[in-house]
Amino acid sequence: MDKLKVIWICHFSNSEIQEKLKPFKRINEFAPWITSLIKVIEEEENIELNVISPHEYISGYKKFTLRGIIYHFFNAHIPIWGRHWPGFLKIDDWTNYLFNKIIVHRIVNKIKPDIIHLHGAENAYYSSTINQFKDKYPILITLQGFLHKVIDQNSSIQLKKRARCEFKIYKSFMHFGIRSVEMGKVIQSLNPNAILHWHGYGIKISSPVIKTNILKKYDLVYFARITKIKGIEDFLKVVSLLKQEINNISAIIIGPSSPDYLLYLKNLASNLFITENIKWIGFLPTQLEVHKAALQARISVLPVKYDMIPGTIVESMYLKIPVVTYNVGSIPEVNAKEKVIMVVEKDDIRGMVDAIKSLLYDENLYHSLANKAYQRIIEMIDYDNVKNDLLQAYNSVIDDYKNNKCYYSGQY
């Protein structure tokens, strides 16, 4: 039987990929869910997977094969150097990512795939390349997040342009991969004719630290991008309120931030009189290092303003670190069967403080939620089911392209 020829268009990086690419400058790992799903496909003999991805700090086009997966990396930024265009010279924005579209078009037409799978519509520098293939190939768009949910009139021109690209994709295509009920509701509110396919990313956390007893040196951990949308300012306010009752409350903050915003946050912490209660770790380059640091804390706190099911929550559950978060996006679906994480209403900082205190003071509740959350996340990201769900989605999209049939798959 001929192999199903699949193209993924996405972006990601990890240490193994960079060993092969040898970029001029190493970058931090990101989008670990892509790495995880690639591992699922590596085990599938009936798929020929070609991954097309931009990467910083490389010159030109790089192709190689690793464990049966064919990788195509290209420089999506400044020629030769591979660095992002500076703010005053946004050539990619001005040309509407023309050069990236040309590169991807050449690669795709050489491969002539049975299906193209785009991961994420919100990153215009690669997602915009999909529009040229509409009606030419069967196409599945897997949703990663919704940029338009977190921008407003004060957002930058670049963010607004990305949101317009995102909207165009949502309205132009028919088949969408989802992993939560909320995702399905949002996409169908934008595109009532959307056909939904349920598939996870099969996140497989194999860190050796999971089964080790790491000393709990901190009460709280925040590990995510350090942005207002992810809730870092609310996190600092939570620590401030807790300090009024628990003077030695301690917290660790892990994640990337711009220098200017980090300075603003440290000034905010000073004004809230919690400078001595916070340890700023910054960005850690690998998932393993993040897990080692996060496991030093008792409770994972993420006051995110909007998201689907953030990787922070998924990984905390897997690491058996009880979670306190806001009731936004798809997060309530984690508690669909029973309470496994502490969820409070958005912006209810007092409610978040009370939830944290209940975990700090009630050991039975603490360990019960940690164990239940672990079992729940194992069920939600069932590694063995991901491959079958994905194959079913691919076959259905291809069938619809050929025969104009509709398909909808199940849910967690």
Q: Are residues 117 and 16 in the same domain?
A: yes
- The whole-number average pLDDT for the span 103-111 is 97
**Six-digit token string for 398:** 């291809």
Q: Which residues contact 320 (CB under 8 A, 6 or more apart)?
A: 210, 370, 371, 373, 374
Q: For residue 13, give the DSSP letter.
A: B
- When pLDDT is cut at 50, 70 and 90, the band that residue 29 belongs to is confident
Residue 384, number of CB atoms within 10 A of its CB: 8
User: Which pLDDT value is given to residue 203?
Assistant: 64
- Domain assignment of residue 159, yes or no: yes
Please state the pTM of the whole predicted model. 0.84
- For residues 84 and 171, membership in a common domain is answered with yes
Judge if 225 and 175 occupy the same domain. no
Domain match, 288 and 314 both: yes
Q: What is the pLDDT of residues 235-260, one digit of tens each?
A: 999 999 999 999 999 999 999 898 99
CATH of the domain at 63: 3.40.50.2000
Q: Number of structural domains, the chain?
A: 2
Domain span at residue 46 reads 4-204+382-403
Residue 161 within a domain: yes
Q: Is residue 372 part of a domain?
A: yes
Q: For residues 46 and 35, is the Cβ–Cβ distance under 8 A? A: no
Residue 12 inside a domain? The answer is: yes
The verdict on 389 and 350 lying in the same domain is no
Q: Tell me if 348 is assigned to some domain.
A: yes
| pLDDT score recorded for residue 1 | 59
Position with higher pLDDT, 115 vs 33: 115
Do 354 and 386 sit in the same domain of this protein?
no
- Do 224 and 311 belong to one domain? yes
